[in-house]
Amino acid sequence: MSLDQLYQQIILEHSKARHGSGLAGVAAPGGSTTGQSHQLNPVCGDEITLRVAVSDGQVSELRWDGDGCSISMASASVLTDLAEGMTPEELRTVIGSFREVLRSRGKVAADPEVLGDAAAFEGVSRYAARVKCAMLSWVAAEDALGQALSAGAPSA
């Protein structure tokens, strides 16, 4: 099996078995600070609402509800697997790396050591119309993480 075939398989599997999906009606973990972001890609209609919970200096949960193409839904699923257990700074670094790869138009190779299964989206970078699909949940996570950290910051 070629690397491209493996990457396609990862995207297909995550688009069908969506890890972290099911935000509605699920309470955030107790003792955590949370942020929630709703993002829409008006070009294709992909939509996601994503919540990040942070407790004890780690992302304790990432949950989402969404509707869209297989790329956007698989990307949210892969992000869930990566994010949980990371520190906020680690998550920001991974989001930045993912963004750099996707905006490179195929010029920056994804590092599987950094991105894990998210490296499967490297090929998407060559299709400008699909970059927003893959980035949608990552933009939502970045926004929600910022909200969670602001909510947990001591007031001055």
List, for residues 61-73, the tens digit of each pLDDT value: 999 999 999 999 9
Find the domain containing 67 and state its range: 3-20+35-152
Mean pLDDT, rounded, for 105-123: 93
Q: By mean pLDDT, which of 2-11, 21-30, 91-100, 104-113 is the weakest?
A: 2-11
Domain assignment of residue 28, yes or no = no
* Count of domains forming the chain: 1
Domain assignment of residue 44, yes or no = yes
Kindly report the pTM of this predicted structure. Answer: 0.92
CATH number for the domain spanning 68: value is: 3.90.1010.10
pLDDT of 16: 87
Mean pLDDT, rounded, for 18-43: 92
Question: Is residue 50 a contact partner of residue 36, using CB atoms and an 8 Å limit?
Answer: yes
Domain assignment of residue 29, yes or no = no
